[in-house]
Amino acid sequence: MMYAIPLGDDGAELRPLEPWQADEFLAHMDRGREFIGARNGLPDVVTDLESSRAFLRLYAEKVAADTGRICGIWSAEGTLVGAVILRSLDAARGRAEAGCWLEPAGVGKGLVTRAARALVDWAIEVRGIRRVEWVVASGNEPSIAVARRLGMTRDGVLRQSYAYRGEVHDEEVWSVLAHEWRAAKPGESD
C-alpha cells in the first residue's frame, strides 16, 4: 500500500502497522487502554506482547490474503497514537469495512479523519472497492462524526446487535459508494 503518507502539514503520518512493531503497538494500547476501551474491545484483546504480536500478525495475514489492512497513525513527534483498519476487504464483491481508534494524545487534531480518508481512497481507487462501510455503536458520537466528515450516509440501525462489556448496543451502518466518493473529491466532480 505505502511506506508513509503525510497526513497534512503537521508532520503526522500514516504507515503500515506490522508484527515487528508489537512493542510499540502494545505501548500505544497501554497509554490508551481506558479511553480506547470505552468504545472498542481491542484493549481487551491486546494485553501483552504476545497478544499484540498476534493481533498484528492477523492483519499481516489479511494483507497477504488481500482481505484486510491496518495502518498506524504517528504524531509529528513520532509516537503511534492510533490506527485505521479495513476490518474486511472483499475486492471480488467490491466491499470493505473500515474502522479506527485513537489514544487521547491524538484526539482533536483531525488525524483519524485524514487517515481514514487516505485508507478509503486507497480502497476505492487502488483496490476497486465500490462500497466502504463504517459500523459503529449508536452512542459513539466521535466515530459517527468521522463517518459524516468522510461523506458517508447512514444506511440504517441494527437494533441491539452489539454486546459489549455487559451492555447491548444498537449499531449504525454508514457507507460511501465509489461514485459518491469520487464526486465529492475536490476538482473531480462532474
Q: What is the pLDDT along the chain (190 residues), one digit of tens a residue?
A: 458 887 878 889 999 999 999 999 999 999 999 999 988 889 999 999 999 999 999 999 999 999 999 999 999 999 999 999 999 999 999 999 999 999 999 999 999 999 999 999 999 999 999 999 999 999 899 999 999 999 999 999 999 988 888 889 899 999 999 999 999 876 554 4
Distance CA 83, CA 100 (A): 6
Distance CA 142, CA 133 (A): 16
- What pLDDT, on the 0 to 100 scale, is given for residue 169? 87
For residue 153 the three cell numbers come to 450516509
What are the E-state strand segments in 103-152?
131-137
Distance CA 163, CA 175 (A): 22
Please name which of 64, 121, 75 lies closest in space to residue 56, comparing C-alpha atoms: 64
- What pLDDT, on the 0 to 100 scale, is given for residue 1? 46
Residue type, 162: Y
- What pLDDT, on the 0 to 100 scale, is given for residue 39? 86
Instruction: Please give the backbone phi and psi of residue 34, each rounded to the nearest 5 degrees, phi first.
Output: -70, -45
**CATH no. of 5-184:** 3.40.630.30
- What pLDDT, on the 0 to 100 scale, is given for residue 165? 84
133 and 98 in contact (C-beta within 8 Å)? yes
- What pLDDT, on the 0 to 100 scale, is given for residue 189? 45
- What pLDDT, on the 0 to 100 scale, is given for residue 186? 66
Distance CA 2, CA 87 (A): 18
Residue 18 to residues 24, 62, 93, 161, Cα–Cα distance (Å): 10, 11, 26, 31
- What pLDDT, on the 0 to 100 scale, is given for residue 129? 97
116 and 136 in contact (C-beta within 8 Å)? no
Give the pTM: 0.91
- What pLDDT, on the 0 to 100 scale, is given for residue 101? 94
- What pLDDT, on the 0 to 100 scale, is given for residue 164? 84
**Residue 175: Cβ-neighbour burial (10 angstroms; 0-12, 13-18, 19+):** buried
Q: Strand 153-164 vs strand 69-74: parallel, antiparallel, or unpaired?
A: unpaired
- What pLDDT, on the 0 to 100 scale, is given for residue 58? 97
- What pLDDT, on the 0 to 100 scale, is given for residue 9? 81
Coil, strand or helix at 177: strand
Distance CA 164, CA 162 (A): 6
Q: Strand 131-137 vs strand 95-102: parallel, antiparallel, or unpaired?
A: parallel
